[in-house]
Chain A
Amino acid sequence: MRSCRWRAGLLAAAGAVLLSACTGPKAEEPGAPDAGAAPVLDGPLRVAVISHGTAGDAFWNVVKNGAEEAGRQLGVQVEYQSDGDPGRQAKLIDNAVAQRVGGLVVSMANPQALRPSVENAVRAGIPVITINSGEQQSAEYGALTHVGQNESLAGERAGRRLAELGKTKLLCVIHEAGNVGQAQRCAGAERGFSGETATLQVDINNPADVQARIRGAVQADGSIDAVLALNSQVAANAVSGIEQVGSTAEVATFDLNSDVVAAIEAGDVLFAVDQQQYEQGYLPVVFLKLYHDNANVVGGGKPVLTGPDLVEQGDIARIADYVERGTR
């Protein structure tokens, strides 16, 4: 019994010693963030690209292709990592910092969660470029530039185009429950679209469920004449779901893949909002190379926009080949 108490005392003492060296996280206070540190000028440039996409995601595969192609062309060593969970993505960033990479490219779907890790990288003197999402927080966290598509602008553009095409009731399909960007797209679409808008929640991992729920939604409300999918897979499911019930609703989508290309060619899908994510992989590597070799900075504090580019039936022939090779 005595030895137990003695041990407990020792543990408590050790804990107290450790805690005395602790630093708590800083609370939010207005103020200027740290200025970017000097670039690392020696050795071959190594860039880590850390996205929030899940492994095997078609969209992020194009980003990966873009980053790797830029790396090949410029002689930059590019490593791509991804994790959809913000906590684990933060750990991947910490890992890259521990490796002292020469440059960091991060997509910030959940900016707050990545903040300590990104700021830590900036403090360690690693130039950071944010891509895809997190435009608003990019500069605040000390990133050089943001490369991406403004989600609400893209949604607005899609909504406006649908309105121009004479649609009156829009169904916006959200396929990832926790994704802020998707919520922004639907909100943007609602702004751009003059008619009525509703949203529908589906699970992207279960195509049968996606199809059935969209079918159910257009069946339940016959006045829906436009369905906006936020992902090419969802668009394909929406087209077949709508066909099954003989609704007159038409589908528009975000993102391209070969199925969407075929569907636009066939007139099954009205248009695709392409954010040209290849550029989101390619450009940051170029920018980091320029920063590394020449201390160049792009954008002047504004984001570099890669989209939206509306792809309709008229443009599809030219773009189809690029989709085929995984760069569009």
Chain B
Amino acid sequence: MSTPAPPLTPAQPDERIATPRLADRLIVRPEIGALLGAAVVFLFFSVSTEQFLTGDGVATWLDDASTLGIMAVGVAMLMIGGEFDLSTGVMTASTALVTSILATQAGWNVWLALLASLAFAMLVGAFNGWLVMRTGLHSFIITLGTFLALQGLNLGVTNLVTGTVQVSGMRSTDGYESAGFVFASTMNIGGTEFQVSILWWIGFAVAAALLLVRTRFGNWIFAVGGSAVSARAVGVPVIRTKISLFMLTAFAGWLVGSINVLRFASVQANQGIGLELQFIVAAVVGGCLLTGGFGSAIGAAIGALIFGMARQGIVFARWDSDWFMLFLGALLLAAVLVNNTLRRRAERVRR
């Protein structure tokens, strides 16, 4: 008793497979608001300061954006998957401390120490994810616990091992030069020294973006962030996906920690505290929803770029540093509002 489907005529294509207008196609991208914001900030400081566009100037704000960007991308992936990690800021210090203590105090080769701190980061990430999935508590609480625990561990262990509150002396360890070449070298482009962390940032963002939009695992991330229950119902391995995401964020923390420890050759036990909020802000400016299920890795990288450009641009503009945070806050709010407006429009377009 089935009625035959009405034949589709070329004159009236199904709206689901029709090609939408370019403007509409662009506006549904999560990163478009961030891109516009970045353009505005870029133009503003290019016009209002002399040094912003010079080689040295560009190197400065790209450098500032790079390590923040690596973390923002990791945090964005986790946020799209519907979870938070408050231990990310401290993780950058913890991994750096593990590396530097093993290298300077135990005399390990830097590469071996880096491997050990990577294993440590993976363990903490997996522990975070496992505990969140196991207890069903909000990741906010679980990772707040890890955050505090790591903070105490950083200070306690550093003080115990070195008798002071910082580990230094990385420059005279085995394998420092080769590890430093990979994580902390500079590239001379047109007479200006650019930090290699910029390459890591771009590479990590591109890899994360491909993972997110080109692979099955990327679909799983969106699914578990949108609705874990529905995702489980259609056969997505929710637990595995979420634990992997926590480990990915921890990996980003390790990467940034390694870049920092090799570049600055020392770690302070209280480093990184409070940065976790900046990572989240960058991800949100980049178009991630705090509720999960929506966002972009490239957007988060651009969010960090806005942060870096604004932070260094304010210095180039020679504004009184007392007002620094106010400018930064206003700028970020503006970026988020623009983003939000665009997203609403995007949702209208989608319907």
| Residues of A that sit less than 8 Å from B by CB | 11, 15, 18-19, 21-28, 55-56, 79-82, 85-88, 90-92, 94-100, 110-116, 120, 176-180, 183, 201
Contacts and interface: CB of A to CB of B under 8 A. Distances in A.
14 contacts: A21-B189, A22-B187, A25-B176, A28-B171, A28-B172, A86-B271, A88-B64, A91-B60, A95-B316, A112-B168, A112-B171, A112-B264, A112-B265, A115-B264
Interface in B186-210: 186-189, 193, 196, 199, 203, 206
A87 B270 CA distance: 12
B269 A178 contact: yes
B216 interface: no
Contacts of A94: 56, 59-60, 63
Given A19-B187, A22-B181, 15 more contacts: A23-B187, A23-B193, A24-B181, A25-B263, A81-B315, A85-B271, A87-B67, A91-B312, A95-B315, A98-B59, A115-B265, A177-B165, A178-B269, A180-B164, A183-B164
A183 B176 CA distance: 28
B318 interface: yes
A15 B168 contact: no
Interface stretch (B33-41, B220-228, B288-296, B321-329): B321-329
B36 to A, nearest CB: 25
Contacts of B63: 91, 94
Contacts of B64: 88, 91
Interface string B236-263: 0000000000000000000000001011
B184 interface: yes
B83 to A, nearest CB: 26
Most buried by B among A18, A56, A81, A110: A110
Contact of B270 (A22, A80, A99, A176): A176
B312 A178 contact: no
Nearest to A117: B264
- Give the 4 A-B residue pairs with the shortest CB-CB distance, closest first: A178-B270, A24-B181, A98-B56, A113-B264
B199 A15 contact: yes
A97 B203 CA distance: 28
Contact of A180 (B56, B166, B206): B166
A81 B324 CA distance: 9
A120 B189 CA distance: 16
Contacts of B266: 86, 110-113
Given A81-B321, A92-B315, A94-B60, A24 B264 contact: no
A22 B186 contact: yes
A110 B168 CA distance: 9
B185 interface: yes
Nearest to A30: B172
B268 interface: yes
A178 B165 contact: yes
Contacts of B177: 24-27
B54 A98 contact: yes
Nearest to B49: A99
Contacts of A86: 264, 266, 268, 271
A87 B266 CA distance: 10
Nearest to B308: A91
A87 B185 CA distance: 15
Nearest to B56: A98
A113 B185 CA distance: 15
Contacts of A56: 322
B155 interface: yes
A180 B324 CA distance: 27
A110 B260 CA distance: 13
Contacts of B165: 177-180, 183
A98 B187 contact: no
